[in-house]
Structure 1
Amino acid sequence: MKANKLMTRDVHVVSPDQSIREVALAMAKLDAGSMPVGEKDRLVGMITDRDIVLRAVAEGLPPNTPVRDVMTQEVKYCFDDEEIEDICQNMGDAQIRRLPVVNRDKRLVGILSLGDIALSSTASKAGNALKGISQPTH
């Protein structure tokens, strides 16, 4: 099965210039733990609730801190025509629960979560990915 069969297509993209407060409110409204960050039609990062907590709140940064100051700039992604089995392996190896999905022109077309995979007929692959994600990194 390919990523484009399981991914969420309607993805809310935030700007690196938005405040972390705005993004946190959007995450709460959408019940999302991460959001892609885009600038000039390109994916430039990902912002997660964990990024906000560890890189902003724990460091005492104010709510108007721009997303670009706390986002993860090294974006891991998968292609929309990539096999779920390969994606699960990569998610486990990289310890990532959500991946932006891009087409071969590297345009964002969706997002794929471990939950999306777990709800599909390939649920055992999600279990293997979760096993890799849950391994200690020290």
Structure 2
Amino acid sequence: MTTGGAEKRARDVMHPGAACVGEHESLRRAAEMMRDMSVGALPICGDDDRLKGIITDRDIIIKCCAEGMDLDRTTAGELARGLVWVDADTSVDDAITQMEEHQIKRVPVIENRRLVGMISEADLAKGLPDDQLAEFVHRIYAGA
């Protein structure tokens, strides 16, 4: 899968300025942040401001609500999963390959050991040719 021409980098297609939910913050706070930002996933950052994982709206529903856990007492860090990320200078092709290999629809982008953005399906839809986007969607959902 190639983007053609000058190779695009993760920084070229990412949504900059991703906000983190703190690893000690409640799932209710994470859900409120998702609602307020109209997103379905948040990176989880530790006290050291480093990426600890990612949490999705689905994680909150399946792993907390459906299990009868308390949204106010369960922390984002308790549900942190998957520490898959890409460097800002990673080629878009390599970022897509990572997303496909791990069957994920969003990936944090790191630069100088700090979170600088996220790549989601929507970001890819804006930055990729239709045929490449279709191939990505097929690969992600084929494994689901």
Alignment length, in residue pairs?
A: 135
Alignment CA distance shift 1:88-1:123 (3 Å): farther
Indicate if the aligned counterparts of 1:88 and 1:126 stay in contact, CA closer than 8 A.
Answer: no
Structure with greater contact order relative to length (CA < 8 Å, sep ≥ 6) = 2
**Which deviates more, 106-115 or 118-127?**
118-127
Question: Which structure 2 residues correspond to residues 59-98 of structure 1 after superposition, within 5 A?
Answer: 59-64=67-72, 65-72=74-81, 74-98=82-106
Please say if residues 92 and 128 of structure 1, whose CA atoms lie closer than 8 Å, have aligned partners that are also in contact: no
Q: Residues 79, 124 of structure 1: CA spacing in aligned structure 2 closer, same or farther, 3 A cutoff?
A: farther
**Percent of pairs identical after alignment?**
29
User: Hey, what does 2:30 align to over in structure 1?
Assistant: 23
- What TM-score do the two structures reach when normalised by structure 2? 0.87
Q: RMSD of aligned C-alpha atoms?
A: 1.4
Q: Please give the alpha-carbon distance, in whole angstroms, between the structure 1 residues aligned to 2:80 and 2:135.
A: 27
Contact 1:118/1:124 (8 A) holds in 2: no
Q: Structure 1 residues 130 and 121 mapped into 2: Cα distance closer, same or farther (>3 Å)? A: closer
Structure 2 equivalent of residue 49 of structure 1? 57
Q: Structure 1: which 5+ runs fail to align? A: none
Q: Deviation string for 1:34-92 (max 9, x for gaps)?
A: 001111121011111111011101111011111112221x3111111111112112212
State the TM-score, normalizing by the size of structure 1.
Answer: 0.90
Q: CA contact under 8 A between 2:53 and 2:83: conserved in structure 1?
A: yes
